Amino acid sequence: GAGVSQSPSNKVTEKGKDVELRCDPISGHTALYWYRQSLGQGLEFLIYFQGNSAPDKSGLPSDRFSAERTGGSVSTLTIQRTQQEDSAVYLCASSIQNTGELFFGEGSRLTVL
């Protein structure tokens, strides 16, 4: 399809393991965002990529979280040494620069046991 694609849709892992979550943005969208949605909470901004500029990492909650965007397209969010409080839905979104509208994927649900 032509929408934002995320994988895996569900991931169950053990505390202390590393996980990688993938996002394929809409073709031609220069901006890519990661958000975290915890139960009963809003959308927590994590990181923002715009073209070739340095990413805005101001929302990353700890140094266990990192993200890359290769070739201006696909992005991977990595969580090292996962903790139970990392359990959440991780949403990726893309947009055309400065248009305002975010196009979200369906999210990756992470459960840390």
Partner 1 sequence: GENVEQHPSTLSVQEGDSAVIKCTYSDSASNYFPWYKQELGKGPQLIIDIRSNVGEKKDQRIAVTLNKTAKHFSLHITETQPEDSAVYFCAASIRGGGADGLTFGKGTHLIIQP
Closest CA to 110 of 34, 48, 55: 34
Q: Is 64 in the site for partner 1 (CB under 8 A)?
A: no
Stretch in the footprint of partner 1 (CB under 8 A) among 15-23, 35-43, 63-71, 77-85: 35-43
- Please give the size of the binding site for partner 1, defined by CB under 8 A: 25
Interface residues with partner 1 (CB under 8 A)?
Answer: 4, 31, 33, 40-45, 48, 50, 56, 91, 93, 95, 97-102, 104-107
